Structure formats: structure tokens, C-alpha cells
Amino acid sequence: MSKEPILKVSHLNKFFKVKKRKLIEEKKYVHAVEDVSFELYEGETLGIVGESGSGKSTLARTILGLIPSSGGTVEYKGQNITDFKVSNSKMLRSELQMIFQDPYASLNPKMKVGSAIAEPMLINGQAKNKEEARQKVKELLQMIGLQPEVYDRYPHEFSGGQRQRIGIARALAVNPKILFCDESVSALDVSVQAQILNLFNDLKEKLHLTYVFIGHDLAVIRYISDRIMVMYLGKVMEIAPYDEIFDENTHPYTQSLISAILEPTTEPNAERIILEGDIPSPVNPPKGCRFCQRCFKAQPKCFEEEPELIPVSADHQIRCHFAKVGENK
């Protein structure tokens, strides 16, 4: 793993305006992503985990310029690419690709599978003519485990897992360097999930890809990730290497997520942490720590003062007042 980050996100913000209901009312914003910074190194898989509404998908969309950011910068290989307002945006766009959550909605139902994959190739110059594109699409289809004959079929003729493979092939068509997988397996059956996760691992080795893997299921995320970033209510709560995320010294929210992983055992789990209530409204995030209202460790201090990301070891940061510095090493 090289130490020069391929993607560097600094203090990225995304606020959505809330529609005014009354004539005179102060402007309100949904704090979907707030002050998120992280670095992504070539060849690694960064897992982003958090429950629904924690801003994971919004973060990915903001980085990819699918929705405009409200502050902060995104750097790709040292170049500022925030919102893709740069001259070589076409080339850069093809290097950062996304695989979507819903395999049923992410394929154009009126386009044949082959031409849907070939189209971005022809536009971004990965293939010069239709013949070459057809050839390359067939190779791609074989690589992701589908028969080349599916070229002339429509998406509705495929199952969810096959559709997700087609979605992967379409993203790979433009030779990306970084793949953002937005809950890419959560719509699939568990058995198919494993197949697709293995496919992701195979492709990573074959094509030297870097992944940002977004999910709400820590069991899936830990299967594929080198590092894990935990988000809650638009903020990064913890960034930890794979082998430190299951340590004692982690964020209380991470601990609760870990205790929610199902284990193949019949013994009762006495220590299971069950969070109460829902994620608070991102329009009025709580003063102090974002997690204070649901935290089992919360002290009066947590309601008053917001903790910073505290580095507890080289690659491990925790946003909690009770993180123990330097104990992990």
C-alpha cells in the first residue's frame, strides 16, 4: 500500500435546503454530510458503514459530483476535482465509477444489455468503433461471469444478481481506478451477496481497483474491507484498520454495530448492545456529540461539547471523549 493517497477528501460538506413552510422562517438545512475528511490509498478497500440516514450515499454522490457539494475539497491524484469543474473532467469521470444499490432501477429497461455497456465505452473513447466495443463488451461479460450471448437481451430477463453483474460490467467498461459500491449487495439474497462480494475481490486483483464500499451491514463490510469508516448523522465517528475495529477501544456506536452482527451460535448473547430510538433529525443535529442521545456511555460532557477525531494509533481515529490514546499499540 503506497502512502500517497489516490483520493483525498477534506472537510467535505453537503447541506440540503429545507423548504420553508411559513413565510417568515429562518433558513434550515439538512446536514447530510458534515466535515468529512478521509484519505483513500491505491489498492485498498475502504468500507463506509452506518445506519440509514447517516449520509453514506450522499457522501459518495458528492465526491462523484452527482450532486453539488456545499464546501470542502476532493483531490484525485493531487488534482482538485471538487464537483468535477475541471477541464479534464471527462477523463477523470471515467476513473471514478459507482455501482448502484438497486439492480432493478440502475439499468435502462429499454436498452439491450450489450449496448448499455458499449455506450459509455464509445463515448469515453475506450473503444473506437462499434465492432471493437462489441468485442470488449463480450470480454467484460465473460470476466464478470455472464455468457457473451446476453449481449442482445433486455435487463428484465435477468435475476437480481445477474443484473448487479451487468451493472458492474457497465462501470468497468470505462476502465475505472476507483469503484464506489453504494450498498451494492444489500438488495440481493444472502447466497448471491457472497457471490458478488467474491466477484468484487477477484476484480480487485485482476484490475488493480480501489474500492469504497458503502453498506449498513458490518458483516458484509468487514468481509471485504481493509479499513472501515463509521458514519453517524453525517459525521465520521471512527476510521479504523480492519483488525482494530473489533478491539475494546472503539467508538460506542461501532461497538453497538458490531454487537448487531449475527453470529452462528445458539448461546444467548448477554452483552448485546441495543440502541434505543432512531437516528436524530439531521435538520437539528444535537449539540455536543452527535451520538450522545443514544450512547450508553454518555456523560454530561457529551451533551455539551462535541469531541474531535482523536488519533488513538497511526491509522485509527475515534470521535469520542472516552477514546484511550495510544493504548492500541
Partner 1 sequence: MKQRKSFGYYFLRNKNGMIGLIGVALIVILGVIAPFLVAYPEGYTADILLAPSLSHPLGTDKLGLDILAEVIWGARTSLYVSLTAVVISALIGIPAGLISGFVKGWLGEIIDACIDIFLTLPMLPLMIIMAAIMGTSINNVALVIGLFSWPQLARVTKNATLKISEMQYIEAATCLGLSKPRILFKHVLLNATGPVFVNLTLIMASAVLSEASLSFLGLGDPTTWSWGTILKRAWTSNAVISSPNPWWWWLIPSLCIVIFVVCFNMLGTAINDILNPKGRD
Per CB under 8 A, 186 contacts partner 1: no
Burial category of 315 from C-beta neighbours within 10 Å (exposed 0-12, middle 13-18, buried 19 and up)? middle
Residue-level length of the chain: 329
| Interacting residue with partner 1 among 18, 20, 105, 175 (CB under 8 A) | 105
Shortest approach of partner 1 to residue 207 CB, angstroms? 17
Task: Give 66 or 314: the residue with its C-beta nearer to partner 1.
Answer: 66
The answer to whether the CB of 221 falls within 8 A of the CB of 47 is: yes
Measured between alpha carbons, how far is 240 from 324 in angstroms, rounded to an integer? 14
Residue pointed to by grid coordinates 453525517: 234
Within residues 130-159, the interface with partner 1 by CB under 8 A covers: 147, 149-150, 152-154, 156
Residues 6+ apart with CB under 8 A from 81: 65, 74, 75, 89, 92
Bridge partners for 45 per DSSP: 211
Distances (CA, A) of 195 to 144, 210, 301: 11, 19, 46
Of 276, 278, 283, 281, the closest CA to residue 298 belongs to 276
Measured between alpha carbons, how far is 67 from 170 in angstroms, rounded to an integer? 21
Burial category of 277 from C-beta neighbours within 10 Å (exposed 0-12, middle 13-18, buried 19 and up)? exposed
Q: Which stretch binds partner 1 (CB under 8 A): 17-25, 104-112, 200-208, 212-220?
A: 104-112
Per CB under 8 A, 119 contacts partner 1: yes
Reduced to 3 states (helix: H, G, I; strand: E, B; else coil), residue 281 is coil
DSSP annotation of 20: P
Residues 6+ apart with CB under 8 A from 279: 51, 52, 53, 54, 232, 233
Task: Give 128 or 301: the residue with its C-beta nearer to partner 1.
Answer: 128
Reduced to 3 states (helix: H, G, I; strand: E, B; else coil), residue 143 is helix
Per CB under 8 A, 123 contacts partner 1: yes
| Interacting residue with partner 1 among 107, 140, 218, 239 (CB under 8 A) | 107
Reduced to 3 states (helix: H, G, I; strand: E, B; else coil), residue 136 is helix
Task: Give 117 or 245: the residue with its C-beta nearer to partner 1.
Answer: 117
Q: Which stretch binds partner 1 (CB under 8 A): 46-54, 69-77, 119-127, 215-223?
A: 119-127
| Interacting residue with partner 1 among 86, 111, 258, 260 (CB under 8 A) | 111
Shortest approach of partner 1 to residue 158 CB, angstroms? 12
Task: Give 15 or 223: the residue with its C-beta nearer to partner 1.
Answer: 15
Per CB under 8 A, 248 contacts partner 1: no
Q: Which stretch binds partner 1 (CB under 8 A): 69-77, 168-176, 188-196, 215-223?
A: 168-176
| Interacting residue with partner 1 among 30, 49, 98, 229 (CB under 8 A) | 98
Binding residue count for partner 1, defined by CB under 8 A: 33
The answer to whether the CB of 300 falls within 8 A of the CB of 281 is: no
Task: Give 196 or 275: the residue with its C-beta nearer to partner 1.
Answer: 196
Question: Which amino acid does the sequence have at 242?
Answer: Y
Within residues 31-90, the interface with partner 1 by CB under 8 A covers: 64, 66, 90
Task: Give 94 or 250: the residue with its C-beta nearer to partner 1.
Answer: 94
Residues lying near partner 1 in the complex (CB under 8 A): 64, 66, 90, 93-94, 97-98, 100-102, 105-111, 119-120, 123-124, 147, 149-150, 152-154, 156, 167, 170-171, 173-174
